[in-house]
């Protein structure tokens, strides 16, 4: 079949791939965006909302998180459609003082100082301050880090808004594009081959943004093996009392718990719970034991949820990827500079996706890796 050419070919229409396509297209580049299923069909979609936060980020991700929180509030205007973002403010709750009496307070102050130094506005709340915002919280919660700029976003709405805006800027979006191979033909020349024989050539670069599929594509094409695996985050949606005050993005420093308000009657509970992967059917299945662990953490933090709370939906169908050090890998293929990839998001990719897209676009167009992406190089895994 005849090759189809564009400046850039991006594989994967999740939040990163779609926002990168839009960013490059608005700068005047021709872009082809390939998606194996449909937009937002992977970890960038599914039920509920995702946290958009700088609070308690890995420090290597913090500059990207801060930049992302500057970008997110502008997106509805810039994309020309609802971005799904809600700036609610975020609370990271804590129950325990660490060993040594005041050590916990010192650690808290250090974390707040670093976040503020990076531009992530952060306040330390004592027990009374926490209860002013969360009157139904357990008496065991004695402090919180509060980041007023944090929020949540509907990941389906956001990812599709980026894809829609990208198409409006001239991006060619092809869904149902099952990639079988990636080929590099020298500097500034690479191509993607589909299972049906179609070939999409990139005059400048191919970007592999298909999350859990990236490690296999890299191994098949270039023999690269990364310390990355797939997992299936489990999302529980619960109907709770309307009297329960949960008006913030809530995380917990001592429990595997994350809470987002879905609507007046429902909340979404995540925070480390995972489902079970079935190799035979290649699907993620829910796990009641991890659901029980999530519910235990929830009721311990908000005792009111021990009554009149009903699980209305449970989902573990969306696979994500995790790296061994829990931050993404964003790099070029050595010796094949026309192929760049991003994977191993470790559950953090949605919030920082627009900022990563901005930095990667700068890298692609200038040829120089931005300093903000230096911590994510694959070379960090080598002695």
Alpha-helical segments (H) within the chain? 15-26, 62-71, 75-79, 103-118, 127-133, 155-168, 214-222, 288-301, 349-366
Residues 142, 168, single domain; the answer is no
Q: What is the pLDDT of residue 166?
A: 98
Among 293, 317, 341, the domain-final residue is 317
Given strand 151-153, what is the order of strands in its sheet?
50-52, 151-153, 85-86
> Are residues 194 and 181 in contact, defined by beta-carbon separation less than 8 angstroms?
no
Give tens-digit pLDDT for 139-150: 999 999 999 999
Residues 29, 169, single domain; the answer is yes
Residues 11, 124, single domain; the answer is no
* Domain-located, residue 265: yes
Q: What is the pLDDT of residue 383?
A: 54
Q: What is the pLDDT of residue 106?
A: 59
Question: What's the number of domains the chain is made of?
Answer: 2
- Which of 291, 350, 295, 286 minimizes the C-alpha distance to 317? 286
Residues 103, 220, single domain; the answer is no
Among 273, 290, 317, the domain-final residue is 317
Q: What is the pLDDT of residue 188?
A: 74
In the chain, what are the helix, strand and coil shares in percent, each to the nearest 5? 35, 30, 40
Residues 165, 313, single domain; the answer is no
Residues 285, 335, single domain; the answer is no
* Domain-located, residue 76: no
CATH number for the domain harbouring residue 199: 3.50.50.60
Under-70 pLDDT residues of the chain: 1-2, 97-106, 279, 281-282, 383
Residue 282: which residues within 8 A CB-CB, separation 6 or more? none
Residues 140, 244, single domain; the answer is yes
* DSSP, residue by residue, 36-69: SS-TT-STT-SSS-EEE--TT--TTTHHHHHHHH
Tokens of 262: 């879905």
Q: What is the pLDDT of residue 273?
A: 78
* Domain-located, residue 62: no
Residues 336, 374, single domain; the answer is yes
CA atoms of 275 and 291, how far apart (whole Å): 9
Residues 172, 312, single domain; the answer is no
Domain interval for residue 366? 4-48+155-227+324-381
* Domain-located, residue 61: no
Tokens of 273: 């719970």
Q: What is the pLDDT of residue 126?
A: 94
Q: What is the pLDDT of residue 103?
A: 47
Mean residue pLDDT across the chain: 93
Q: What is the pLDDT of residue 272?
A: 77
- Which of 27, 51, 74 minimizes the C-alpha distance to 248? 51
* Domain-located, residue 214: yes
The total of other beta-carbon atoms located within 10 Å of residue 244's CB is 17
Residues 238, 307, single domain; the answer is yes
Residues 192, 239, single domain; the answer is no
Give tens-digit pLDDT for 257-293: 999 999 999 999 998 778 887 767 667 889 888 899 9
CATH number for the domain harbouring residue 292: 3.30.9.10
* Domain-located, residue 85: no
Among 295, 317, 339, the domain-final residue is 317
* Domain-located, residue 64: no
Q: What is the pLDDT of residue 283?
A: 74
Residues 297, 348, single domain; the answer is no
* Domain-located, residue 54: no
């Amino acid at each position: 079949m005849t090759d189809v050419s564009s400046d850039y070919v991006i594989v994967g229409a999740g939040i990163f791939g779609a926002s990168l396509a839009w960013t490059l297209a608005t700068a005047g580049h021709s872009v082809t965006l390939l998606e194996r299923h449909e937009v937002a069909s992977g970890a960038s979609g599914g039920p509920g909302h995702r946290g958009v936060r700088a609070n308690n980020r890995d420090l290597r991700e913090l500059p990207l998180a801060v930049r992302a929180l500057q970008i997110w509030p502008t997106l509805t205007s810039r994309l020309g459609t609802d971005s799904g973002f809600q700036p609610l403010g975020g609370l990271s709750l804590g129950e325990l003082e660490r060993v040594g009496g005041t050590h916990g307070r010192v650690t808290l102050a250090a974390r707040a100082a670093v976040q503020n130094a990076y531009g992530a506005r952060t306040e330390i709340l004592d027990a009374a301050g926490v209860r002013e915002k969360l009157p139904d919280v357990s008496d065991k919660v004695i402090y919180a880090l509060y980041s007023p700029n944090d929020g949540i976003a509907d990941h389906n709405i956001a990812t599709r808004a980026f894809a829609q805006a990208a198409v409006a800027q001239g991006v060619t979006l092809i869904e149902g594009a099952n990639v079988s191979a990636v080929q590099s033909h020298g500097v500034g020349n690479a191509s993607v081959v589909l299972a049906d024989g179609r070939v999409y050539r990139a005059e400048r670069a191919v970007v592999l943004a298909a999350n859990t599929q990236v490690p296999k594509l890299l191994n098949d094409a270039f023999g690269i093996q990364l310390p990355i695996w797939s997992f299936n985050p489990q999302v529980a949606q619960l109907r709770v009392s309307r009297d329960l005050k949960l008006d913030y993005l809530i995380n917990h420093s001592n429990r595997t718990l994350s809470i987002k308000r879905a609507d007046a009657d429902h909340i979404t509970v995540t925070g480390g719970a995972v489902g079970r992967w079935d190799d035979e059917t290649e699907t993620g299945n829910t796990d009641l034991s991890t659901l029980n662990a999530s519910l235990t953490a929830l009721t311990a933090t908000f005792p009111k949820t021990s009554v009149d709370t009903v699980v209305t939906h449970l989902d573990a169908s969306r696979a994500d990827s995790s790296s061994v050090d829990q931050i993404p890998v964003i790099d070029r293929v050595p010796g094949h500079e026309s192929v760049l990839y991003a994977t191993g998001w470790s559950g953090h990719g949605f919030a920082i996706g627009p900022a990563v897209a901005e930095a990667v676009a700068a890298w692609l167009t200038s040829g120089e890796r931005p300093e903000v992406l230096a911590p994510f190089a694959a070379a960090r895994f080598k002695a």
